[in-house]
Amino acid sequence: MNKTLDILKNRRSYRDFDEKHDLTKDELQEILDAARQAPSWMNGQFYSIIVIQDKKLREQLVNWNPGNPHILKSSIFLLFVGDLYRTKMVSEAHESVYSIDESIEPIILATTDAALALENAVIAVESLGLGSVVVGSIRKHGKEISKLLELPEYTFPLFGLSIGKPIVEMEVKPRLPEAAVVHYDRYKPYTYTLIEQYNQIMEEFGEARETKHWSRKFSDFFASEPTMLTDRLLKLQHLLK
C-alpha cells in the first residue's frame, strides 16, 4: 500500500492535543496550500478559510461549544466558510443580476467546495504526522460566529478543524458495511440486517463518547424538532428567501 492510501484508510479523529506544541509557519502553509488545491465546481472556489490563532476568539468558540475544548487546546483552529460574497463582487463588477437566493444550488456548491477543501486539509495534517478533528457543531452558533469574525453577507460558517500534536492514541473507527454504501451501476437494495450488524460492531468497538447504538442515535436525531438555526442564518445572510 502506498503512503497516501495508508493515510486515507487509517485516518482517525483526535481530540486531545499537546497544548505546548506549535505548528511551524511552513506546516500551516502546507496545510492551507493543500486545502486550496482541492477540486472545485467550475473552479468557483466558493469558500474561505479563517485561521483562528487568537486565544480569546478560540475561548469564545469553546464557550459556545463546551463539548469541544480542543478548539482552544489544539495548535491551530481553521474555520471553513461557504463564501458567495466573492461572486457578488464579480456580479457587481460585471453589472449583472445576482439572484443567489432563488435556489438552494449555490449553497450546495459552496458547501461541497468547502468540504473538499476541508478533506484536503485533513489529509495534509495526517501526512505531517499531526492529528485533527472536524467540528460541525459550530453551525449551532453560526449567527454569533458570523458576528464575532465579521463575516460579510453571502457567507456562512460550515465547520471547523482543530489541528495539533495528539497525546492520546485513537483507534481507526469501523465504517458501515461496504454493501450498505457502495453500489455498482444501480442502487442495490440491502436488508436492515447490515445496519444491525454495524450496531454490534460499534458496540464492540466501545467508543466511550457513543452512548447509543448507531441506528438509535440517528433515529433520535431525525425525530427531534429541527432547530432551523442554519435556515435563519442563511436568510439573514441573503442566501435564502
pLDDT, one tens digit per residue, over 32-79 is: 999 999 999 999 999 999 999 999 999 999 999 999 999 999 999 999
Report yes or no on 190 lying in a domain.
no
Domain containing residue 139:
3-172
pLDDT digits (tens, 9 = 90+) for 217-235: 999 999 998 888 999 999 9
Among residues of the chain, what percentage have pLDDT more than 70? 100
Report yes or no on 232 lying in a domain.
no
Residue 3 CB-half CA count within 13 A: 6
Quick check: 25 pLDDT over 90?
yes
Cβ neighbors of 19 (< 8 A, separation 6 or more) are 73
Report yes or no on 91 lying in a domain.
yes
pLDDT (0 to 100) of residue 97:
96
Rounded-to-integer distance, Cα 161 and Cα 178, Å: 27
Report yes or no on 81 lying in a domain.
yes
Q: Which three cell numbers stand for residue 160?
A: 471547523
Rounded-to-integer distance, Cα 71 and Cα 140, Å: 15
pLDDT (0 to 100) of residue 214:
95
Report yes or no on 208 lying in a domain.
no
Quick check: 8 pLDDT over 80?
yes
Q: Residue 128 gets which letter from DSSP?
A: T
Q: Number of folded domains in the chain?
A: 1
| Segment (H or E) for 161 | strand 155-164
Report yes or no on 22 lying in a domain.
yes
Cβ neighbors of 62 (< 8 A, separation 6 or more) are 68, 69, 71, 72
Across 198-212, average pLDDT: 92
pLDDT (0 to 100) of residue 130:
98
Report yes or no on 76 lying in a domain.
yes
3-state secondary structure of 52: strand
Q: Find the CATH number of the domain harbouring 30.
A: 3.40.109.10
pLDDT (0 to 100) of residue 227:
86
Q: Which residue, 43, 41, 23, is CA-closest to 31?
A: 23
Q: Which residue, 60, 24, 37, is CA-closest to 160?
A: 60
Rounded-to-integer distance, Cα 70 and Cα 86, Å: 31
